Structure 1
Amino acid sequence: MNKIKPLKIVAGLSALVLIFGILFVTNAFVGNPISKAFANKSIKKYVEQNYSFLDLEVEKPVYNFKFSSYMARAKSKTSIDTKFSIYYKKGKVQRDDYDSYVLGMFNTIQRLSDEYSALAKSLIAKELGFEKNTTMVMYDKGEYEKGNKKLKLDMKFDRNLPMDAEVILRVDLKDNSIESIEKVLRDAHKVFLDNGCKFTKYGLYTEENDGMHVMVNDVTPAHIESGEFESLLKKAKNGEDADGIRVFIKGEEKK
Structure 2
Amino acid sequence: MIKNTKKLTLKVLAGAVAVVLIVGILFVTNAFVGNPISAMMANKAIKQYVNQNYSYLDLKIEKVSYNFKFESYMARAKSKTSIDTQFAIYYRDGKVERDDYESYVLGMFNTLERLSDEYSAVAKKIIAEELGYENNTTMVVFNKAEYEKINDILELDMKFDKTLPLNSEVIIRLDLTDNSLEGIAQVLTDAHKAFVHNGCNFNKYDLYAENNDTLVMINEVTPADIESGELTNLLEKAQSNDNINGIRVFTK
TM class by smaller structure:
over 0.9
Give the match's secondary structure for 1:94: strand
CA–CA distance in 2 between the matches of 1:34 and 1:240? 56
* SS of structure 2 residue aligned to 1:86: strand
Instruction: Tell me what 2:136 maps to.
Output: 133
TM-score (norm 2): 0.96
Question: Is the CA contact (8 Å cut-off) linking 1:104 and 1:144 kept in structure 2?
Answer: no
Q: Does the 8 A contact of 1:106 with 1:144 survive in 2? A: no
Q: Which amino acid aligns with 1:226?
A: S
- Give the Cα–Cα distance (whole angstroms) in 2 for the partners of residues 158 and 146 of structure 1: 19
Distance 1:103 1:242 in 2: 39
Counterpart residue number, 1:4: 7
Paired amino acid for 1:229: L
* Alpha-carbon shift at residue 207 of structure 1 (Å): 2.8
Count of aligned positions: 249
Cα 1:182–1:220 shift into 2, 3 Å: same
Q: Secondary structure at the match of 1:247?
A: strand
RMSD across aligned positions (CA): 1.1
Aligned equivalents of 1:29, 1:200: Cα separation in 2:
44
Task: Give the equivalent residue in structure 2 for 1:253.
Answer: none
Give the one of 9, 17, 38 matched to 2:41.
38
Q: What stretches of structure 1 of length at least 5 have no aligned partner?
A: 251-255
In the TM superposition, 1:73-222 aligns within 5 A as 73-142=76-145, 146-208=149-211, 210-222=212-224
1:17 aligns with 2:3: no
Q: Identical aligned pairs, as a percentage? A: 66
CA drift of 1:240 comes to: 5.2
User: Residue by residue, what CA displacement relative to the aligned partner does 1:201-224 show, whole Å, maximum 9, x if unpaired?
Assistant: 00101234x421010000000100
Give the secondary structure class of the aligned counterpart of 1:171.
strand
CA distance in 1, matches of 2:59, 2:238: 51
User: Does 40-49 or 134-143 show the bigger shift?
Assistant: 134-143
Q: Distance in 2 between matches of 1:148 and 1:167?
A: 23
Q: Which has the higher helix share?
A: 2
How far residue 230 of structure 1 moved from its aligned partner, in angstroms, is: 1.2
Superposition misfits of 4+ residues, deviation over 6 angstroms: none
Q: TM-score, normalised by structure 1?
A: 0.95
C-alpha deviation, 1:62, in angstroms: 0.3
Check whether the contact 1:121–1:135 (CA below 8 A) recurs between aligned residues: yes
2:250 is matched with 248
